[in-house]
C-alpha cells in the first residue's frame, strides 16, 4: 500500500495544502500544534471514515468555514485508488471512492489500509478493556467488511436487549428475550470467532516485533480471554448459556454483562502484566509491537503491508529502540511525525516534510 499524496482543504488548521509522500519512510516534523497530527488524522480518515482521535466530524472543519475536504491518491495491489471525503457543518460527510459516492462506511473500508499509532494509543496498554476492544475492532473492520457489518448489527441488538432489560416488565421480557438472544448469540459468535482468530495470529507477530525492537531483551505475550472457543456454532451455544446464567443479575442491573462487548486482551512482558508493572518506555514499546503485529496480519491477508502512521512515537524511546523501530518500519511505507526530524536515526536519508502553522514548508 502506498499513499502518493494528500490534499487538505479547510481541514483543521490547513487552508489548502498538498503532501507528497515517498515510498519507505516519510518524516513530518514541526513544532507543537503546527498540524502534524492533523495531517496524520486525515490519512486515517481516508482509510476508515473515522478520526483516530474519536472526535466529531464537524470539529475538523477550519473554524468559521462550512466545508472541509480531504483527498488522497493511493496505490494498492489492485491499482490506483482515489478517496475523497467532504465534511459539512450541518449534514453527514460525503465519501467518494474513485469519484463514485459510497453510501456506507463499509464500502470505504479496505480501499486504503493503514495502521495508526499515537501516544494516546498507550491507553491500549494502560486503560480499560474498551480501548483494547477498539483496537481489535478498527483493525478487524479494515481486514473484513463482514466483521464491520456484524459489529454494527451487534451494537443494535445489544442496545435493544438492554432497553428490554430496563423495562422491568417481566412478562414482556420473558416473552421477547429468547428472540433477541438467538440473534445476539449468532452475531456475537461471529465477532468472537473473528477476534479469536485475530488474537491467535497477532500473538506470535507481537512477540516477534517486540523482540525486534528490544533486541530480544524482553518477551511480550498477548492472549485473549478464552471464555469462548471453537467454531461459530459452538461459540453461539456458549454465549446463550452465559446469557442464561447471568439472566437474573443482568435483569437487576438493567444491562447485558456477557458478550464480545465485555472481552479483553491480556498483555504481558516477561510474564508480568504490562498494565500494572511496565515502565512508560516498556508500555510504549508493547503498544508499538501490537501495531507492528497488526501490519503483519494485513500483509498476511492482502499480500501487502498497510501504510504505517507513527504519530509522535519516538519520544520516551531510547536511541537503541528508535533505531530498531525505524528498521522494522522500513519494510513498509511509514509516515512518522515528530517535533525534531533528527530524533529519527539517519533522518537525512528519508523524505522530509516540514509543517508550520498549517502549511507545508517548501
Ligand atoms: N477545526 C479547526 N480549525 C482551525 N484550527 C484547528 C482546528 N482543529 C484543530 N486546529 C488547530 O490545529 C492545531 C493542532 O494541530 P496538531 O496537528 O494536533 O498539532 P501537532 O503538530 O502538535 O501534532 C492547533 O493549533 C489547533 O488549534
Ligand atoms: Mg501531534
Share of the chain above pLDDT 70, in %: 100
Question: What is the pLDDT, as a whole number, of residue 294?
Answer: 96
Q: Which phi and psi (to 5°) does residue 99 adopt?
A: 80, -5
Q: Please tell me the pTM assigned to this model.
A: 0.94
Domain range for 18 is 1-113+306-362
Q: Give the ligand with the smallest distance to the CA of 117.
A: 2
Average pLDDT, integer, range 15-20: 98
Q: Which of 74, 90, 82, 93 is nearest to 23 (CA)?
A: 74
Q: Say yes or no: 258 and 239 in one domain.
A: yes
Query: pLDDT grade, residue 210 (50/70/90)?
Result: very high
| Domain end point (choices 282, 303, 324) | 303
Give the separation between CA 268 and CA 271, rounded to whole angstroms. 5
Q: Please check whether residue 67 is in contact with residue 88, taking contact to mean a CB–CB distance below 8 angstroms.
A: yes
**pLDDT at residue 344 is higher than 90:** yes
Distances from the Cα of 135 to the Cαs of 154, 275, 314, in angstroms? Answer: 17, 16, 20
Does the CB atom of residue 61 touch ligand 1 within 6 A? yes
- Is the shortest distance between the CB of 139 and ligand 1 below 6 Å? no
Identify whether the C-beta of residue 257 lies closer than 8 Å to the C-beta of residue 162: no
Q: What is the pLDDT of residues 24-43, one digit of tens each?
A: 999 999 999 999 999 999 99
Query: Cα of 304 to ligand 2 centre, how many Å?
Result: 27
Ligand 1 contact, 52 CB (< 6 A): no
* Dist. CA 214–CA 49, nearest whole Å: 34
Q: Are residues 73 and 161 in the same domain?
A: no
User: Is ligand 1 within 6 A of the CB of residue 36?
Assistant: yes
Q: How confident is the model at residue 211 (pLDDT cuts 50, 70, 90)?
A: very high
Same domain, 267 and 338: no
Taking 90 as the threshold, does the pLDDT of residue 302 lie above it? yes
Domain co-membership, 159 together with 297? yes
Residues 278 and 357 in one domain: no
Same domain? For 175 and 293 the reply is yes
pLDDT tens, 125-183?
877 889 899 999 999 999 999 999 999 999 999 999 999 999 989 999 999 999 999 99
Q: What is the average pLDDT across 100-119? A: 94
**Cα separation of 317 and 326, whole Å?**
12
> What residues are paired with 255 via a beta bridge?
none
What pLDDT, on a 0 to 100 scale, did the predictor assign at position 64?
96
pLDDT at 217: 86
Q: Is the pLDDT of residue 288 over 90?
A: yes
Q: Does ligand 1 come within 6 angstroms of the Cβ of 8?
A: no
Distance 270 CA to ligand 2 centre (A): 31
Task: State the average pLDDT for the chain.
Answer: 94
Average pLDDT over residues 94-99: 98
- What is the number of the ligand 1 atom nearest to the C-alpha of 13? 5
User: At 278, which CATH number?
Assistant: 1.20.1050.90
Most informative mutation of 6, 13, 355 for ligand 1 (most atoms within 8 A of CB): 13
Number of domains present in the structure of the chain:
2
Three-state secondary structure readout of the chain: CEEEEEEEEEECCEEEEEEECCCCEEEEECCCCCCHHHHHHHHHHHHHCCCCCCCCHHHHECCCCCEEEEEEEEEECCEEEEEEEEEECCCCCEEEECCEEECCHHHHCCCCCEEEECHHHHHHHHCCHHHHHHHHHHHHHHHCHHHHHHHHHHHHHHHHHHHHHHCCCHHHHHHHHHHHHHHHHHHHHHHHHHHHHHHHHHHHHHHHHHHHHHCCCCCEEEECCCCCCCCHHHHHHHHHHHHHHCHHHHHHHCCCCCCHHHCCCEEEECCEEHHHHCCHHHHHHHHHHHHHHHHHHHHHHHCCCCEEEEECCCCCCCHHHHHHHHHHHCCCCEEEEECCHHHCCCHHHCEEEEEECCEEEC
Whether 278 and 360 share a structural domain: no
Per-residue pLDDT, 121: 77
Q: What are phi and psi of 353, to 5 degrees?
A: -120, 130
The last residue of a domain, from among 260, 288, 303: 303
Do 202 and 291 lie in one domain? The reply is yes
Residue 136 has, within 13 A of its CA and on its CB side, a CA count of: 29
61 lies in the same domain as 196: no
Q: Grid coordinates 471525503 are at which residue?
A: 85
Quick: pLDDT tens for 63-87: 999 999 999 999 999 999 999 999 9
Amino acid at each position: 500500500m502506498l499513499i502518493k499524496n494528500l490534499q487538505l482543504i479547510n481541514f483543521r488548521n490547513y487552508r489548502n495544502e498538498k503532501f507528497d509522500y515517498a515510498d519507505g519512510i516519510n518524516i513530518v516534523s514541526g513544532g507543537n500544534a503546527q498540524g502534524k497530527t492533523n495531517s496524520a488524522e486525515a490519512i486515517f480518515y481516508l482509510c476508515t471514515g473515522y478520526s483516530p482521535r474519536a472526535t466529531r466530524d464537524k470539529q475538523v472543519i477550519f473554524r468559521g468555514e462550512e466545508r472541509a475536504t480531504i483527498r488522497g491518491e493511493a496505490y494498492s495491489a489492485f491499482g490506483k485508488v482515489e478517496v475523497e471525503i467532504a465534511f459539512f457543518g450541518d449534514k453527514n460527510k460525503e465519501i467518494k471512492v474513485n469519484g463514485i459516492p459510497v453510501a456506507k462506511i463499509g464500502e470505504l473500508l479496505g480501499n486504503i489500509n493503514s495502521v495508526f499509532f499515537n501516544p494516546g494509543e498507550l491507553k491500549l496498554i494502560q486503560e480499560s478493556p474498551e480501548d483494547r476492544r477498539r483496537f481489535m475492532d478498527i483493525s478487524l473492520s479494515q481486514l473484513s467488511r463482514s466483521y464491520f457489518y456484524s459489529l454494527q448489527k451487534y451494537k443494535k441488538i445489544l442496545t435493544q436487549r438492554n432497553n428490554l432489560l430496563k423495562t422491568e416488565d417481566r412478562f414482556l421480557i420473558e416473552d421477547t428475550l429468547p428472540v433477541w438472544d438467538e440473534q445476539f448469540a449468532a452475531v456475537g459468535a461471529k465477532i468472537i470467532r473473528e477476534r479469536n482468530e485475530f488474537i491467535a495470529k497477532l500473538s506470535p507477530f507481537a512477540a516477534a516485533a517486540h523482540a525486534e525492537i528490544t533486541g530480544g531483551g524482553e518477551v511480550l505475550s498477548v492472549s485473549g480471554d478464552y471464555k469462548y472457543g471453537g467454531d461459530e456454532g459452538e461459540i453461539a451455544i456458549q454465549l446463550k448459556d452465559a446469557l442464561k446464567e447471568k439472566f437474573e443479575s443482568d435483569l437487576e442491573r438493567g444491562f447485558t454483562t456477557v458478550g464480545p462487548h465485555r472481552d479483553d486482551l491480556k498483555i504481558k512482558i516477561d510474564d508480568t502484566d504490562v498494565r500494572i508493572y511496565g515502565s512508560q518506555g516498556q508500555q510504549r514499546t508493547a503498544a508499538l509491537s501490537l501495531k507492528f503485529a497488526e501490519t503483519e496480519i494485513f500483509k498476511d491477508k492482502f499480500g501487502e503491508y498497510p501504510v504505517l502512521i507513527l504519530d509522535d512515537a519516538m519520544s520516551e524511546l531510547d536511541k537503541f529502540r528508535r533505531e530498531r523501530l525505524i528498521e522494522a518500519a522500513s519494510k513498509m511505507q511509514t509516515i512518522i511525525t515528530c517535533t525534531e526530524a533528527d530524533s529519527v536515526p539517519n533522518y537525512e536519508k528519508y523524505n522530509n516534510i516540514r509543517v508550520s502553522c498549517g502549511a507545508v514548508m517548501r
